Structure 1
Amino acid sequence: MPTSAQYSTNHYQFMHPSLISASELQAQLNKAIVVLDCRFNLMDKTQGLTLYRQGHIPGAFYIDLERDLSSAVQTHGGRHPLPDFERLQEKWRSVGINQHTTVVVYDDSRMAYAARAWWLLKYMGHADVRILDGGFNAWVANKGAIDRREPAAKSGGFKMDLQANKTVNRDTILEESSLTLIDSREPRRFQGLEEPIDPVAGHIPKALNFFWQDVSDDKGLVKSLDLQKAHWSNLPTTENLAVYCGSGVTACVNIFSLHLCGIDAKLYPGSWSDWCSYLPQTTASHS
């Protein structure tokens, strides 16, 4: 099992208001912080809740990728369409989120699902959202307390203010020639060499490939600011960026990394699963 020393961020980590270490969260846990457990497994969709019930950060509420952070799949719109925001607003209220609440989100998947929750909260206008660096594994390695009890529902006054300019859709991509597209999937999927999920392999024409897992190490710790900046150093521009992945989930990890570097980027929520739904099912785009 990893030790707390392996998860120590002091030797390389930079301070950023959108990140929190396990030791920092331990020190602040009894304060007015809302913690959200976002663990999930696309191959076993009950696993996240099962793990939560086996043990979670004390006081954390479980947030499900598909029940809470997505809406029903349609013909178009991708495999994880954006949620019904009125419903999600009620969810945030039920876990005690107010306008000035500090919210901490975590998972055990290198931020794959925590970043989706982070992005949605920011998109809905919430200012203070932080991702737990290293996720649940870092919490355990730092000997953080574990609880099996589900906290009682609370009453928060969260009121959304949707940032509608933070997304793009298929029409925007087709119409805006100045848009720089970032594909967050692994290189083999980007290159169309394999496609384990969607019916068509390939990528959106002119997209650039920046694999989402490259912004963290194999323990899920966020790489240093210098390495974040180096990761994006080959971008031709930092203006008018839009990020996508398979279904708009792991793209949020890249958006988080760009955010750490002071770069704004939009999300294409439907991502490749939406884009390829308009293509002949035997056609791939590799240009």
Structure 2
Amino acid sequence: MSSIVSMRWLLARLYESDVVIVDCRFQLGKPDAGQEAYNESHIPGAVYLDLERDLSAPIGEHGGRHPLPDVAQLAARLGQAGIDRTMRVVAYDDQGGAMASRLWWLLRYLGHNEVYVLDEGFTAWKQAGCPVTGDQKVIFPKVYLAEVRHNMVVDVDDVRERLGAAGVVLVDSREAPRYRGEVEPIDPVAGHIPGAINRFWGDGRRADGSWKAAAEQAERFADLSQEDEIIVYCGSGVTATPNVLALEAAGFRNVKLYAGSWSDWISYGENAVATGNEEERKDV
């Protein structure tokens, strides 16, 4: 089954006891906006998990702007939200699926298979006339037992070791001007990891905001070999996760997340930085 589910699919399962809906709305620079939006209205039965408070660790010298959360703390928080490994989890946001994909990836990382992202997000759900509420359900805590899949993630040392290696492809998920180093609105250094190619995560959606089908995702990555190891990164490890989801939909199986991403890479002064377009240089 696809990791993307339709509004119709969720509507039909809205009140099933093994379905947990998670609101992941979040706005960078407005840390309370997601919680406030949830409090105002959300999909009935949804619980709220915050990108920075729940789905990331505190910022340190290294690790990037959204470090991976401590596994034990995340498992405890999931349990508090009424989630265990038997549940089918559906995540949504209003940010094109980026925040929901972060939860999707984290749950997969913890060994959870039945986790999905709602197509199009909350605004589309509301505009379609689907039910919303401001009421918060009573949560019965669970015990979440994580089985971490360490092979899904790489760190800065792994990336350094793989630079220039045959059979390894680095995919930068940021918008092209940031990748090329022309602008950098968030991090203190502009550019990209040497050798990385650019595949903007937002191109995984159609013009109407819906997710592209598997065949369309495969077209985005048609120049890559499914035999290669694909390492995906972005600015802080969040918007890379929609590309991880898209690559898996396209049939790629050896896909890893550089969790610290660009903001971690540049926290080490000795790491090389590239600018411009790598693919244009390869074509010369």
Normalization by structure 2: what TM-score? 0.91
Deviation at 1:237, TM superposition (A): 5.0
Residue identity in the other structure for 1:226: A
User: For the residues of structure 2 that align with 1:110 and 1:236, how far apart are their CA atoms?
Assistant: 27
Contact 1:71/1:80 (8 A) holds in 2: yes
Moved >3 Å (runs of 4+): none
Aligned to 1:31: 16
SS of residue paired to 2:235:
coil
Q: 1:151 aligns with which of 137, 143, 166?
A: 137
Stretch of structure 1 that moved more, 205-214 or 236-245: 236-245
Question: Which residue of 176, 193, 200 corresponds with 2:182?
Answer: 193
Separation in 2, partners of 1:108, 1:174: 34
Which AA in structure 2 matches 1:260?
A
Q: 2:266 is matched with which residue: 247, 251, 276?
A: 276
Using the alignment, how far apart are the partners of 1:284 and 1:200 within structure 2?
9
Given that 1:109 and 1:220 are in contact with CA atoms closer than 8 Å, whether structure 2 keeps it comes out as: no
Aligned length: 271
Q: What code does the residue aligned with 1:17 have?
A: S
Deviation at 1:158, TM superposition (A): 2.1
| Displacement after TM superposition at 1:19 (Å) | 1.6
CA RMSD of aligned residues (A): 1.6
- Residue deviations 1:65-115 (CA, integer Å, cap 9, x gap): 000000011111100000011111011111222222100000011111000
Q: Which deviates more, 213-222 or 65-74?
A: 213-222
Aligned-residue offset at 1:219: 3.6
Note if contact 2:215-2:250 (Cα within 8 Å) is conserved in structure 1.
no
Match of 1:66 among 48, 52, 65: 52
State percent identity of aligned pairs.
Answer: 42
Question: For 1:15-47, what per-residue CA distance to the aligned partner results, in whole angstroms no more than 9, with x for missing partners?
Answer: x43121111111101102100000000021111
Give a deviation string over 1:246-283, Cα, whole Å, max 9, x none.
000000000010111121310001000000111379x8
1:3-22 → structure 2 map (5 Å cutoff): 16-22=1-7
TM-score (norm 1): 0.90
| Alpha-carbon offset, residue 225 of structure 1 | 2.2
